Amino acid sequence: MISARAVDAIDWLFEKAVSEHCCREGQPPSVIAIRHERPAPVEQTNRHVVAINISSYLFRITLFFNFSTDRESIAYLARLSRCNEDSLEGQTLFDAYAEFVNMICGAANRDLHASFPHTGMSTPTVLDKACLHYLPLLKPVHVSQIEVGIGAGAGFLLTLCVCTAKEARLDFDLERTALPEPSSGEIEFF
């Protein structure tokens, strides 16, 4: 079981981590949080999914970063990883995705560590996008999606699933600091 307070804290934590690590030229990204029980997987063919876990004794947060392989997204990733856009293909592209995911989840894990000193993070893994159809098999107590727009056309979709240990009650809150102001629009919850 998970409390509403814990759900808000976890969602806020990842929105904060995304905002801190996706800034482009000093401008924070457009972040739209969409909360619902059954996220609809993106059906486009030009997508890569990177999965990573943050776990403690009481819970596991499984995150799926759904990246587009369009030119704008690759160009953004190249700038972020300080490499040539033309060299981002195959394993080099997957390594750039993994490092990007590590930055975001590492920040969230550090903040979680204040409430849960025994958290650990897995290694990012590139999966087939079809894996998102099987989220219910994880038996999550909470699922949310965060749409992130970075500049003109670039962005990704982050799906996070929180699973708790059997009969565990997850109830905590975090000290909140202000999120950077989005560059366009506001953070919206549906």
For the entire predicted model, the pTM comes to: 0.83
Spatial distance between the Cα atoms of 92 and 84, rounded to a whole number of angstroms: 11
Task: Give DSSP secondary structure letters for 126-156.
Answer: EE-GGGGGGGGGG--SEEEEEEEEETTTEEE
pLDDT in the model for residue 55: 95
Pick the CATH number of 4-164 from 3.40.1550.10, 3.40.50.410, 2.40.30.10, 3.20.20.100: 3.40.1550.10
Spatial distance between the Cα atoms of 121 and 9, rounded to a whole number of angstroms: 18
**Which among 156, 88, 98 is positioned nearest to 123, based on CA atoms?**
98
**Which among 41, 40, 33, 42 is positioned nearest to 7, based on CA atoms?**
33
| Per-residue pLDDT tens digits for 142-176 | 998 888 877 667 788 899 999 998 888 899 888 77
- H helices of 22-126, in order, are 71-81, 90-112
pLDDT band for 91, please (50, 70, 90 cuts).
confident
Q: Is the pLDDT of residue 59 over 90?
A: yes
H-helix or E-strand containing 51? strand 47-55
Q: Is the pLDDT of residue 67 over 90?
A: no
How many C-beta atoms surround the C-beta of residue 181 within 10 A? 10
Domain ranges of the chain: 4-164
Q: What percent of the chain has pLDDT over 70?
A: 79
Least confident span in 54-58, 116-120, 173-177: 173-177
